[in-house]
């Protein structure tokens, strides 16, 4: 939200340059897209074929989703024309021990606050739900898809277990044995009126599980425990 135009140009123009280099040197490319491309789709689970439902252009937070959609269209168009061998993955809220809180990532922000007994800040009322994906599972999927040469395919990479942001904050406080309190602020207070937040974001991962034979290895409780233990070191 602080670098809207720069984010757009980076996602579109820089990705295009990568594609051109891959075409020139006949190198496959794994394109990291995002769950954001589904927008606020009302499907119970988001499959790779779910229709996208992003907000109006006046809600500038959707510019990121739109730029990633353009990347996907570029990759798949080049594939159909026989010019590029892309694998597209849509990532759902990756977390892990070394993730930084400085860039707004909710899990490290909550854990850092809890370990310091600082207030945990929730944007909105905390009822919005997310699913969190362990970073080691993500890299394992990347390697497997590359080895299987899954060119021209699109895959969700995520975890199907949902948790509300309020429950996540409470889980972090409990795991840390923290005295932190939860405070709620509205999105508008932080991002102005150009932001819009999906109420839920949960993938269907049947395609990648069936394709690779691999399933997620951790639930949210074990992920949080491992991250907290790492940060305490």
Q: What tokens appear for 202 in the block?
A: 């949960």
Q: What pLDDT band is residue 97 in, cutting at 50, 70 and 90?
A: very high
Exposed, middle or buried: residue 6 (CB in 10 Å: 0-12, 13-18, 19+)? exposed
Model pLDDT for residues 195-212, shown as the tens digit of each residue: 566 677 889 999 999 999
Q: What is the mean pLDDT of residues 19-45?
A: 93
> So what's the pLDDT on residue 196?
60
The domain spanning residue 73 has which CATH number?
A: 3.40.50.720
Average pLDDT on 183-202 reads 71
The reported pLDDT for the residue numbered 62 is 87
Percent of the chain with pLDDT over 70: 95
| CB atoms inside a 10 Å sphere around CB 192 | 10
The per-residue pLDDT for 173 is: 98
- Residue 12: pLDDT band (50, 70, 90) is very high
From the CB of residue 25, how many other CB atoms can be counted at a distance below 10 Å?
A: 7
- Is residue 103 part of the annotated active site? The answer reads no
Q: How many domains does the chain have?
A: 1
Q: Which residue has the higher pLDDT, 139 or 188?
A: 139
105: region left, alpha or beta (phi > 0 left; psi from -120 to 50 alpha): beta
| Structure tokens, 31 | 């394109």
In sequence order, the β-bridge partners of residue 91 are: 34, 157
Tell me, what DSSP letter sits at residue 37? G
**Mean pLDDT over the full length of the chain:** 92
Residue pair 119/146 in contact by the 8 Å Cβ criterion? no
Mean pLDDT, residues 156-166: 95
**pLDDT tens per residue across span 106-156:** 999 999 999 999 999 998 899 998 999 999 999 999 999 999 999 999 999
Domain interval for residue 220 = 4-232
pLDDT digits (tens, 9 = 90+) for 72-85: 999 999 999 999 99
Angular region, 93: left φ>0, alpha ψ -120 to 50, beta rest? left
**pLDDT, position 201:** 80
Listing DSSP states for 110-169 in one string gives HHHHHHTTPPEEEESSS--EE--EEHHHHHHHHHHHHHHT-TT-EEEE-----EEHHHHH
Residue 41: per-residue pLDDT: 80
Catalytic residue chosen out of the listed positions 38, 64, 79, 141: 64
């Amino acid at each position: 939200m602080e670098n809207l135009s720069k984010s757009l140009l980076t996602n579109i123009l820089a990705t295009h340059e990568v594609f051109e280099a891959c075409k020139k040197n006949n190198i496959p490319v794994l394109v990291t897209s995002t769950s954001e491309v589904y927008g606020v789709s009302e499907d119970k689970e988001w499959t790779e074929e779910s229709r996208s439902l992003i907000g109006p252009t006046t809600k500038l937070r959707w510019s990121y989703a739109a730029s990633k959609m353009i990347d996907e269209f570029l990759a798949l168009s080049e594939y159909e024309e026989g010019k590029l061998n892309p694998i597209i993955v849509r990532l759902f809220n990756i977390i892990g021990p070394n993730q930084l809180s400085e860039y707004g990532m909710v899990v490290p922000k909550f854990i850092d606050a809890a370990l310091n007994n600082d207030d945990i800040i929730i944007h909105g009322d905390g009822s919005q739900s997310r699913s969190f994906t362990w970073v080691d599972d993500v890299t394992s999927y990347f390697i497997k898809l590359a080895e299987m040469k899954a060119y021209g395919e699109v895959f969700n990479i995520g975890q199907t277990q949902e948790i509300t942001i309020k429950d996540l904050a409470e889980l972090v406080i409990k795991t840390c044995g923290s005295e932190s309190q939860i405070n709620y602020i509205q999105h508008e207070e932080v991002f102005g009126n150009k932001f819009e937040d999906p109420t839920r974001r949960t993938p269907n991962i049947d395609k990648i599980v069936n394709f690779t034979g691999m399933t997620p290895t951790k639930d949210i409780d074990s992920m949080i425990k491992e991250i907290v233990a790492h940060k305490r070191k």
